[in-house]
Amino acid sequence: MVYIILAVIAAFAVYAFIENKLLLRVRREELGGNIKAVHLSDLHKRRFGRDNSRLCKAVEMESPDIIIFSGDLVSRTETDFSAIKRTLDSLCRIAPVYMIMGNHEQSLPSEMQKEFLQTVSETEAVLLRNETVSIDIKGRDIAVCGLLEHYEVYKKDGGYRDLEKITTGSITALLGEKPGGEVLLMAHNPFFGEAYAEWGADWVFSGHVHGGIVRLFGKAMLSPERKLFPKNAKGVYKFGRTRLLVSAGLGKLRLFNPPEIVVYMI
C-alpha cells in the first residue's frame, strides 16, 4: 500500500510539473463572426521559451486579425521588462496588439510601473487605460475600450473583505458612455458581466481568475481573492447580447488547468 501511495504521489508530481512547465493549449471558440481574435492573459512570470518564442510561434500559426491581452502581462515583483518588450515586439509583427493593465501592473512599485509603461510605449502594442480607439477589421467598425478599474476591486486595506464592485455607473465614470456601434471591451476582472452588459459592450475580454487555479470536474476551485468556486472563471458567458470571454491565462501555479491561448471567431 505504501508503494502505491508513493507511486500516486510521484505520478501527481510529474503531471503537475508537466502542466506548469511544458503544456500550452489552444482553446477555440466559434462565435459566428469573421474576425479571428487571439486572447492572451495573465502571463505573469511564466516564460514559454526564450522571450516567449514558443508562445509567439503558437499565436503566429493561428494568423489572427487581432491580439488581445487582458491584463497581468507581468507580476508586481518583476524588475526586468526586457523579455516582455521582445515578446510584445514579436506579437505585434503578427497582428495588432491591444492590451490593458491588470491588478499586478496596477500594484507595481511606482518606479517599476513607470518603467513598465515606458517599455510598452517602445513597442507597437496599444495599451488602453480608460481609453477607446476605433478600428476597422474586415469592414467592421469596432470601438476597442480598455477599462482600468479602481484597485480596490481587487484588494482593499491589505485584504479581500468589502471589495469595491464594478457597476454600470463606475464604468461610465471611467470610460464614458458606450460608444456607438460594435464595442469590444477589455476588462481584467470577469466577475461583473452584468455591469459590462448593461453598459453596452458586445464583446468583453477578461482574465484574472486563472481558470480557478485548480479545476476539478471542469469546475473552478479558487479565485485570487481566496474565494471558493469563483464564477465566470473560464469560457464564454452570455449576458443578453453580450459575450464575456474569459481566459484561464498562462502563468501562475495551476492544476488540471493548463495554460491556454484562446482563439475566437467573433
Q: What is the pLDDT of residues 148-187, one digit of tens each?
A: 999 999 999 999 999 999 999 999 999 999 999 999 999 9
The pLDDT score that the predictor gives to residue 191 is: 98
Residue 5 lies in a domain: no
The pLDDT score that the predictor gives to residue 12 is: 61
Cα–Cα separations (whole angstroms), residue 61 to 53, 152, 222: 12, 38, 32
Residue 12 lies in a domain: no
Which band of pLDDT confidence, cut at 50, 70 and 90, is reported for residue 22?
Answer: confident
Residue 10 lies in a domain: no
- Tens of pLDDT, residue by residue over 111-153, are 999 999 999 999 999 999 999 999 999 999 999 999 999 999 9
Which band of pLDDT confidence, cut at 50, 70 and 90, is reported for residue 93?
Answer: very high
Report the number of distinct structural domains present in the chain. Answer: 1
pLDDT of 19 over the 90 cut? no
The edge-to-edge listing of strands for the beta sheet with 235-239 is 131-137, 140-146, 182-186, 203-206, 242-246, 235-239
The pLDDT score that the predictor gives to residue 179 is: 96
Grid cell in block for residue 234: 473560464
The pLDDT score that the predictor gives to residue 221 is: 97
Q: Which residue has the cell 493548463?
A: 258
Residue 194 lies in a domain: yes
CB 75 within 8 A of CB 132: no
Q: What is the DSSP string of 110-163?
A: HHHHHHHHHHHHTSS-EE-SSEEEEEEETTEEEEEEE----GGGT-BTTBSSS-
pLDDT of 214 over the 90 cut? yes
Average model confidence (pLDDT) across the chain: 95
Grid cell in block for residue 13: 508530481
pLDDT of 227 over the 70 cut? yes
pLDDT of 223 over the 60 cut? yes
Grid cell in block for residue 226: 481566496
Tally Cβ neighbours within 10 Å of residue 155: 16
The C-alpha angle with vertex 221 and arms to 196 and 252, in degrees rounded to 5, equals 80
Instruction: Please state the pTM of the whole predicted model.
Output: 0.96
CATH number for the domain that contains residue 236 = 3.60.21.10
pLDDT of 11 over the 70 cut? no
* Bridge partners for 28 per DSSP: 263
Residue 77 lies in a domain: yes
Residue 20 lies in a domain: no
Range of the domain at 242: 26-265
* Main-chain phi, psi angles of 220, to 5 degrees: -75, 135
The pLDDT score that the predictor gives to residue 220 is: 98
Mean pLDDT of 225-249: 97
Residue 193 lies in a domain: yes
The pLDDT score that the predictor gives to residue 9 is: 64
Q: How far apart are the C-alpha atoms of 55 and 33, rounded to whole Å?
A: 25
The C-alpha angle with vertex 100 and arms to 196 and 74, in degrees rounded to 5, equals 130
pLDDT of 3 over the 90 cut? no
Residue 91 lies in a domain: yes
